[in-house]
Amino acid sequence: MPIPHHLPSSPVSRRGFAAGVGGLGLAALLPSAAASARPRRRPDVWETRARASFAALQTYFRADDDSGLYRERYPVAAEDPTYSYEWPYSQAHVAALDLAGMRGADRRDRRVLADHVRGQQRYWSDAGSTGLPGFASAPLPPYGTGGDFFYDDNEWVGLKDVQQWRMFRDRSALREAEELFDLVVSGWDTDPDHASPGGVFWTQAPWSDDRNTVSNMPGAELGLRLHQITGRRYHREWALRMYAWTNRHLQREDGLYHDHLGLDGTLEKTIWSYNQGVPVGVNVALHEVTGERRYLTEAVRIARAARSYYAVDDRLDEQPAFFNSIYFKNLLRLGAATRTSRYRDDMAAYAERMWTTRRDPATGLFGGADGERAEMIQQAAMVQVFAVLAWAPGHLSRLY
């Protein structure tokens, strides 16, 4: 089973996403310009750190064979799988894509990206339990035995594909993203006898019947981004359905999102950072698609609630980096839409703390302290954080 990503998910019943906003307009919700004033590093510093972190990823996690795949942890232990699960691999793939979007990117970065596109296909399976193809949780023969489909695993690759299309007009990536969205739609709960029927299941594995924020909101984001490219109502309508179900059953009154809802109605209430970031990105996309300002107001409300929540007791820094990379990227989309640098400044401050306090200068690895082994997905996430900070501000709309 894929690791850290498959932590508990969540929900809370919430009708009407505008609750709690009251009469506040968008300007009242945005951070002030004075509050946003912070020292900033030059893009070339972030690029240097991104490349150094990616080099460490290759040195300590890349498999020493022709598979193009990665190991799960370092140092490698006898009980480890030969290659990483799909979720960590997808984040290394996204790291390669983000490197290719830096201001200083060149043809070598495109070749590295192409290598990850090939490696990604090691996980491709012709059919899951709903009869549609997608990415299994582990590589297929001869590299592994495959595994169950996780809908969020496939949504991350679909969003990566959308970003790749937006960056390079890669039609094969767009076709794959559309195919993966069809898979996600096939995971919708259609049984009216279930508690709070509807929602996309987390996985096709028989041991879980959870419907998660992370299996629905990234699906909504993927659908909206595809609608922006294709104009198809199908993508938009399903995105709105996923969005509405998640808001009704998993969002708290303050705007934050629980993790998941079981078929028996049990709510798992953990507040993970990526579950707050993606709904921000969904609302930004809805604003872009509809032109309705209320969605941008809602994005800011969620972002403010998350910022306040994670400011307490170093909560943000205790979230996994591979959740925070997703959280911050969606906030960058909001910052671009509202023309504020606050969210980028927060991301830069986080990146600075991680570089200073969580990185081993001897190896360049993040994590692995106190006898614990370093995780590949953690390293890939930090590459993403540094790389995107090195992007030109005008290119942030290409994210996801």
Q: pLDDT digits over 79-97, tens only?
A: 999 999 999 999 999 999 9
pTM of the full predicted structure? Answer: 0.90
pLDDT per position as a tens digit, 59-79 = 999 999 999 999 999 999 999
Residue pair 389/47 in contact (Cβ under 8 Å)? The answer is: no
The pLDDT of residue 263 is above 60: yes
pLDDT per position as a tens digit, 183-221 = 999 999 999 999 899 999 999 999 999 999 999 999 999
What CATH number does residue 278 fall under?
Answer: 1.50.10.20
Residue pair 247/14 in contact (Cβ under 8 Å)? The answer is: yes
- CA–CA separation, 202 and 119 (whole Å): 24
- E strand or H helix at 124, and its extent? strand 124-125
- pLDDT-derived band at 365 (thresholds 50, 70, 90) equals very high
What is the tally of structural domains in the chain? 1
For residues 237-264, give the mean pLDDT.
Answer: 97
pLDDT in the model for residue 22: 34
The pLDDT of residue 39 is above 90: no
pLDDT per position as a tens digit, 281-332 = 999 999 999 999 999 999 999 999 999 999 999 999 999 999 999 999 999 9
β-strand pairing of 267-268 with 260-261: antiparallel
The pLDDT of residue 4 is above 60: no
Cα three-residue angle 188-290-335, rounded to 5 degrees: 95
The pLDDT of residue 35 is above 60: no
- pLDDT-derived band at 40 (thresholds 50, 70, 90) equals low
The pLDDT of residue 270 is above 60: yes
The boundaries of the domain holding residue 55 are: 4-398
Instruction: Measure CA 30 to chain center.
Output: 24
- pLDDT-derived band at 15 (thresholds 50, 70, 90) equals very low
**Amino acid, single-letter form, for residue 394:** G
pLDDT in the model for residue 124: 98
The pLDDT of residue 29 is above 80: no
- CA–CA separation, 217 and 222 (whole Å): 9
Output the DSSP codes for 214-252.
Answer: HHHHHHHHHHHHHHHHH--HHHHHHHHHHHHHHHHHTB-
The pLDDT of residue 11 is above 60: no
